[in-house]
Amino acid sequence: MNQKLLEQVAKISAETAVQAAMEYLEKEKQKQQKVKRDWRLRNTKLLLKNYRSFVAHSAEVKEELTALQRAEALEEIYTEDLAVEAIKRSKKRTLAMVQFMQRMMGVYKAMCESSGQPEDLRRYHVIHAMYISDEKLTAEQLAEFHKIEVRTVYNDIKNACKTLSVLIFGVDGIRFE
């Protein structure tokens, strides 16, 4: 009888240990996915903040990049090692990045215009004025222009960056809640 009891205790203990290990692995997987999303959102913000510098840096490149050159240059943004300095090292890579960002901003603008929501279009205008246009506006200037609070400008930036992260990084930019 003691042997049977010991076997049952051992079986229950093993099942509990396996279940705890599976739960731990699932939590670790979720943490890793969150970190991956976070660095992509961070990289989107870095790309926007440094856009004007990238344009100036790549202005000397007069040749048209081939599709292969663009693909090779853009491959670097899909690694966790993206750093502003790494992009600046090569004018061609920088130009490819600028052209890619221009296309994604065009897609984002079209999405905002077709949504029919005034806040979506405002978000595009805020992002464009803060980071893309030749004349940079401050959050205060944008708040005054759009007749909104300054914190709404920053919320618009945050929400626009989430959408742009998906456009730039694809499905990896999505945060599943």
The per-residue pLDDT for range 49-99, each reduced to its tens digit, is 988 888 887 777 666 667 666 666 666 555 545 555 555 457 777 888 888
Judge contact between 127 and 135, C-beta under 8 A. Answer: no
pLDDT over 80 (residue 145)? yes
Q: How far apart are CA 135 and CA 130, in angstroms?
A: 8
Assigned token pair, 39: 């660095």
Neighbours of 109 (CB within 10 A): 16
pTM of the model: 0.63
pLDDT, mean of residues 108-131 = 95
Residue 136 φ then ψ, to 5° = -80, 130
Q: How far apart are CA 126 and CA 13, in angstroms?
A: 57
Cα three-residue angle 126-99-64, rounded to 5 degrees = 155
